[in-house]
Amino acid sequence: MALDFDNRTAMITGGASGMGLLSGQELAKQGAKVVLLDVNEEGLAQAAESIRSSGGKVLTFKTDIRKFPEVEAAEKKAIETFGSVDILINAAGGMSGRCCNNCTSFEKLPIEVIDWGLDVNLRGTLYCCRAVLAGMMERKCGVIITFGSVTGEQGGGGPAVDYSAEKSAMRGLTKSLAIVGAPHGVRACCVIPGPVLTRPSMANMKTLLGRAAEPIELVNFILYLCSDKAAFITGSSHVIDGGRLLLQ
């Protein structure tokens, strides 16, 4: 489906890999200017090259979203360069136990691992939303996409307790952003993925459809939500899990 993102700028966290990178690549193909944020500087350079080689416009910033001044600086530079930030996609995140290489059960999980999850999945997302919202409200235009998880819907044991809490919070955050933003033309939506083949291990998670999603299947829906074709959609959360939650 052809979507028009000419004269739109999208800021994407986790933009050096996975869903963030693919979102940036696809938005650039459809005319958007793309601003990629990530802690992986080498990955950002490769991501920028892939977008520029296809004729897209891109900025990259090595950014730790746990640090608001870094997020704020990236947003200001994006506006200086491209004139606006019209779309925010909060793709950065991950289960703390896996990302910190410590998958101990929750009651034994080191506090610093829990803090990593809270800081990246919750605090970082809040910081990014805070950084872009005022400008969007002033320009009377904007879309914010948050990422939940089926783990946030069904709960998670072992090392996934904090991740479940952080991701379930995205529903409330999205509703609140929609309430605040609606009088000013700003929409917010939450995407709740099931297993997605950004990692091979995702193929082992059962779904009603018998497979994990290809990343492009989620990104196509994200782009739809960001487009004017979804102009009447806000405050809602969208489960894209191949029926995984129906197997409970």
Q: Out of 163, 178, 186, 222, which one is annotated catalytic? A: 163
Six-digit token string for 73: 């600086």
Rounded Cα distance, 198 and 216, in Å: 10
Residue length, the chain? Answer: 248
Rounded Cα distance, 39 and 105, in Å: 27
Do residues 189 and 238 lie in contact, with contact meaning Cβ atoms separated by under 8 Å?
Answer: yes
Rounded Cα distance, 237 and 24, in Å: 21
Q: Which residues contact 124 (CB under 8 A, 6 or more apart)?
A: 13, 65, 66, 71, 90, 92, 93
Question: Which amino acid is it at 22?
Answer: L
Rounded Cα distance, 95 and 102, in Å: 10
Rounded Cα distance, 67 and 58, in Å: 22
224 is catalytic: no
Six-digit token string for 236: 């809602």
Rounded Cα distance, 60 and 7, in Å: 18
- Positions annotated as catalytic residues are 163
